[in-house]
Amino acid sequence: MPQRRRPAVPGGRPAHRWRAPLAAAALLLLVVLVLSLGIGAKALSPGQVWHGLFDPAAPDYTVVHRLRLPRTLLGLLVGAALGLAGGLMQALTRNPLADPGLLGINAGASAAVVTATALLGIGSFDGYVWFALAGAAAVAVLVYAVGGGRTATPARLALAGAALNATLYSYVSALMLLNAASLERMRVWTVGSLADARPGTVLKVLPFVLAGLLVALALARPLNALALGEETARAQGARPARVRALTVVAITLLCGAATAACGPIVFVGLMVPHLARAAVGPDLRRLLPCCALLAPALLLGSDVLGRLLGRPGEVQVGVVTAVVGGPFFLLHARRGKTVRG
């Protein structure tokens, strides 16, 4: 009985060439996790963090468990979600500048959440996560349709996403200005922040991110095949239409949950896949796990930097990632790796 051919991946690397970068990314994430638990209004040493985590009698137990740990865990989940979504979007659109923020997915989730808050009075994650998922899904489908559907090119998708992104954020700004109560409640959320993390929020985000993660990892091999062309993908057993639909589902789950929990955070999904691709190559079976490690390290590192720069207050993480990601985007475009129609 003939065996199914395994999809080739252009630029695939031997095992020893990608295991070391993955291990380094895991170590980097561990270091950033410790920093996130230790740095704040009151600095804690690694020893104090350890005792605060595991010793209920420790003086810092309450600080660690009620403030630092929920914030760190939420950053871990949201970062992984944004990194995976960015990797999936770049693979699906074959667009190196694709990002949940640049293609309007975050804006769709944000517009739905602000609408639910301002017009329906919904103010909890339980209520507006479904609006965020619906908004993200609607914009994903709309960008794909406006960009040309089956004949969509990376350039068309990018232009459609940019137009919808600008339109939706204008709508969000107008709605918040017209509704003072909504403006006050959503002021920090619309910037992108981990400051209001609560243990309950982490538990509610977790199922959506896990579902998106499982779908994303299951799609790694079919998306590798699709990168070689539709005919080649079909010959290797993949169904292009089904793969695209499931990819949109995974992106919607990941972006919708992340945006509902923390607000729109941009450029993480753009930067991380490029860093991961340079480290482990284009094979999505390696690239997506690397994104899931590097993205939370970047997000939590930006959050720690915001705490240090804004003392005694803080600079919101969405501001820090925008400041870091803007030059990265311009540099990448300047080097000629822009979208092509």
| CATH at residue 153 | 1.10.3470.10
67 assigned to some structural domain? no
| d(C-alpha 123, C-alpha 117), whole Å | 6
Q: pLDDT at position 10, please?
A: 54
Q: pLDDT at position 29, please?
A: 97
214 assigned to some structural domain? yes
Residues 6+ apart with CB under 8 A from 158: 95, 97, 98, 102, 103, 339
DSSP 235-276: HTT--HHHHHHHHHHHHHHHHHHHHHHH----SHHHHHHHHH
Name the nearest CA neighbour of 46 among 59, 35, 57: 35
Q: pLDDT at position 330, please?
A: 76
Amino acid at 208: F
| d(C-alpha 30, C-alpha 35), whole Å | 9
Pair 102, 157: CB distance under 8 Å: no
100 assigned to some structural domain? yes
Report the first-to-last Cα separation within the chain, whole angstroms: 42
The total domain count for the chain is 1
DSSP letter, residue 152: -
Q: pLDDT at position 86, please?
A: 93
105 assigned to some structural domain? yes
139 assigned to some structural domain? yes
Q: pLDDT at position 198, please?
A: 86
98 assigned to some structural domain? yes
Express each pLDDT in 164-211 by its tens digit.
888 998 898 888 788 766 666 677 777 888 988 888 889 989 999 999
Q: What share of the chain is helix, strand, coil (3-state, %, to 5)?
A: 75, 0, 25
Q: pLDDT at position 333, please?
A: 66
Pair 167, 175: CB distance under 8 Å: no
| d(C-alpha 274, C-alpha 338), whole Å | 13
Q: Give the torsion sign (CA, 141, 219, 14, 31).
A: positive
Q: pLDDT at position 184, please?
A: 64
41 assigned to some structural domain? no
Domain with 261, as residue range(s), is: 73-334
The burial class, CB within 10 Å (0-12 / 13-18 / 19+), for 36 is: buried
Low-confidence residues of the chain, pLDDT below 70? 1-16, 149-155, 180-185, 333-341
Pair 84, 254: CB distance under 8 Å: yes
Q: How many CB atoms lie within 10 A of CB 87?
A: 29
Q: pLDDT at position 280, please?
A: 93
Pair 256, 38: CB distance under 8 Å: no
Pair 87, 288: CB distance under 8 Å: yes
63 assigned to some structural domain? no
Q: Give the torsion sign (CA, 30, 250, 319, 161).
A: positive
